[in-house]
Amino acid sequence: GLLSLSAQAQDKNYPTHPLTLVVPFAAGGPTDVVARSLGASMSKTLGQPIVVENRTGAGGTLGPSFVSRAHPDGYTLLIHHNGMATAPALYKKLPYDPLKDFEYIGQVADVPMTLMGRKSLPPNDMPAFIAYARANGNKINLANAGPGAVSQLCGTLLQDALGTQFTEIPYAGTAPAMSALLGGQVDVLCDQTTQTLPQIKGGSVKLYGVTTLERIKALPDAPTLQESGLKGFEVMVWHGIYAPKGTPKATIDRINEALRIALKDPAFATKMNELGAEIVPPAKQTPEGLHTWLQSETTKWGGMMKKAGIEPQ
């Protein structure tokens, strides 16, 4: 009737005012870096600014919670990483269902993680770090962005692999966690190259290894954690763009088009490659590509947490 006609008319003009892209972690961190450069590129296609809003807290679950309840008009979007897949296994009362309460727009880029120590931490390489970690256990402070964050996921896998327990210190994102590492208030941080490459290259932190199975182009001399004895250790961080459930299909199509154009935009792609990230192939840049991936990741990480004996809180 009239209502759907006016909704259609609105879609044709979409967007008529700025969009908000919610980042569930602190400004200046790795998710924020991807969001801001992606937003700048997508806004060229959409003809409206994309304003990044950092809605931090609860391991990155407050951002998706907010977006799941936002008006489904295409003006509030979410960017999130593996946390969409890990949260169901970590929280008993998650206020949203990652697999059902959103419209799925597409994936963006894959990013390796790096395990680092503060500059003054005694071990100089991964074998020395392993010995140091086993000897010092919970005297070691591990910074992360809370349960649901990839820094926490990486730390969980690490402690599980080493059979040791660190003291975990949660922050609103890994930007403040990195500040704490640089200031020597914490000892260890595992975080994406999208934030850590400049610090690693500048020598302001100690790098122990990368979390991919193969060495990465951005840090060819850095050993993988697997090479250093942690067999099968692998965390790759992926990113997806989401809209509230019920956002009109025509609007999703426009946003997806802007996303796919941005992923080919040299301004965005070059910046991502410089930060060690890799743009996902076209099949993943679609709503179906993101939803299918999210399903398989939810199964993968959920199973892994159960095996590691992690109880939802």
- Answer for the pair 207, 197: CB distance below 8 angstroms, yes or no: no
Residue number with CB closer to ligand ASP (32 or 110): 32
User: For residue 75, what are its two tokens?
Assistant: 């003006």
* Residues 262, 275: Cα–Cα separation, whole Å: 16
Residues 6+ apart with CB under 8 A from 63: 22, 23, 24, 25, 55, 56, 78, 80
Q: How far is the CB of 26 from ligand ASP (least distance, A)?
A: 6
C-alpha distance from residue 273 to each of 67, 110, 159, 256, 278 (Å): 29, 10, 30, 21, 6
Establish how many alpha carbons lie within 13 A of residue 185's alpha carbon, considering only the half-sphere containing its beta carbon.
12
Q: How far is the CB of 176 from ligand ASP (least distance, A)?
A: 8
Residue number with CB closer to ligand ASP (84 or 150): 150
Q: How far is the CB of 305 from ligand ASP (least distance, A)?
A: 15
CA 306 to centroid of chain Cα atoms: 21
Binding region for ligand ASP (CB under 6 A): 25-26, 29-32, 60, 144-145, 149-151, 173-175, 191-192
Q: How far is the CB of 33 from ligand ASP (least distance, A)?
A: 8
Residue number with CB closer to ligand ASP (68 or 193): 193
Residue number with CB closer to ligand ASP (192 or 285): 192
* Residues 156, 72: Cα–Cα separation, whole Å: 35
Q: How far is the CB of 27 from ligand ASP (least distance, A)?
A: 9
Residue number with CB closer to ligand ASP (212 or 256): 212
Pairing of strands 102-118, 188-192: antiparallel
Q: How many helices (H) and strands (E) does the chain have?
A: 11, 10
Residue number with CB closer to ligand ASP (42 or 237): 237
User: For residue 267, what are its two tokens?
Assistant: 């301004």
Q: How far is the CB of 29 from ligand ASP (least distance, A)?
A: 3
